[in-house]
Amino acid sequence: MEIINLKEAYFRRYLLLTKVVLVALFIVMHHLIIAVPFIAQWIFFGVFVVLTGIPHGALDHEVAKQSSRLNLLNFSALNFYIRYLTPMIVYGVCWFFFPTISLYIFLLLSGFHFGETDLPIPANQSSFTTILLQTSYGLLVLFLILFLNLDEVLPILDQINIFSPSLIRFLKSPTAGSYSLIGATLFFLIALIAYFVSHKANAKIIIRITILLSIVTISAAMLSLPISFAIYFGLWHSIISLENIRLHLSVSAKKEVTWLKLLAKCIPFTLFSFVGIFALIYFFDLNKNIDLFLMGLFIGISILTLPHQEVMSKMYFQIRKKNQLID
């Protein structure tokens, strides 16, 4: 476990440096040389989703199998897929009847998932204040990206057009961005203080969080929605998740699982995801209805997040047992 933690720490440092360099290059190019064309921004976003976003969720069955093995439990593929698909169906029904509430649930799930990945607090410190800190941090990351680019978010919400009129009115108000960011920041600060008081945590976590949030803030403020989100989700979150999965799968392997082998494991379910997406586009003629396409894509991502987050949480609990918070 100590070896895994050390490797994860080095990997994060190098990836963080890469992220800083990429953000700086985009800012210089976009503001001082030539603005990145709109279509190029979304191509950049799409490339990262294809290369890292989808693959990092395509290994959930392998992660669950390894978790069962480490807990000395039998793994049943049938039981796994039943447990994986059932919450997706239930959540999909919730989206049909209660879209606005389902959106709030999606934000909370995503916030916790991002926070759990960025703040690798050891399993022996798991508590309500830990969950609160990770969730509030992840929500703040999301809010920074979304509300600092609210002028780009609103047209997308208008096209999806399933949320309550009161929510849309609030988001279109002049104070929506500032109120939301202030609220998310206060929530995060309260959670951070509660965590420190209850766990007497190492103050180094403040430095870590400050650096991570500063990069997200600068990226979201200086770059567009697709670029800033692609850098955080595609370059940072998804790659760290893939590295953690690689280390997790290496625990009981006779030799370390290489990145090449890991990516090879991603291919079947990644291809299956692509086939499913294109089949939906073809059969429902979504390429001629951008509103329906965006709505389906957004809801589909949120539905997949629910079981994926559960699988990843169990993995993080195992690989961080008895470990100290990464410096």
Q: What is the 3-state secondary structure (H, E, C) of the chain?
A: CHHHHHHHHHHHHHHHHHHHHHHHHHHHHHHHHCCCCHHHHHHHHHHHHHHHHHHHHCCHHHHHHHHHHHCCCCCCHHHHHHHHHHHHHHHHHHHHHCHHHHHHHHHHHHHHHHHHHHCCCCHHHCCHHHHHHHHHHHHHHHHHHHHCCHHHHHHHHHHHCCCCHHHHHHHHCCCHHHHHHHHHHHHHHHHHHHHHHHHCCCCHHHHHHHHHHHHHHHHHHHCCHHHHHHHHHHHHHHHHHHHHHHHHHHCCCCCCCCHHHHHHHHHHHHHHHHHHHHHHHHHCCHHHCHHHHHHHHHHHHHHHHHHHHHHHHHHHHHHCCCCCCCC
CA-nearest of 308, 302, 313, 322 to 96 is 302
Give the pLDDT confidence score for residue 217 in this predicted structure. Answer: 97
Structural tokens at position 151: 């002028």
Which amino acid, residue 173?
Answer: S
Give the pLDDT confidence score for residue 322 in this predicted structure. Answer: 45
Q: pLDDT tens for residues 128-186?
A: 888 999 999 999 999 999 999 999 999 888 888 889 999 999 999 999 999 999 999 99
Give the pLDDT confidence score for residue 123 in this predicted structure. Answer: 55
Residues of the chain with pLDDT under 50: 1-4, 322, 324-327
Which amino acid, residue 129?
Answer: T
Give the pLDDT confidence score for residue 206 in this predicted structure. Answer: 84
Give the pLDDT confidence score for residue 98 in this predicted structure. Answer: 93
Give the pLDDT confidence score for residue 285 in this predicted structure. Answer: 65
CA-nearest of 315, 317, 310 to 88 is 310
Give the pLDDT confidence score for residue 35 in this predicted structure. Answer: 84
Structural tokens at position 177: 């961005």
CA-nearest of 254, 262, 316 to 8 is 316
Give the pLDDT confidence score for residue 31 in this predicted structure. Answer: 87
Give the pLDDT confidence score for residue 284 in this predicted structure. Answer: 61
Give the pLDDT confidence score for residue 79 in this predicted structure. Answer: 92
Give the pLDDT confidence score for residue 147 in this predicted structure. Answer: 96
From residue 52, alpha-carbon distances to 36, 61, 143, 220 in Å are 22, 17, 22, 20
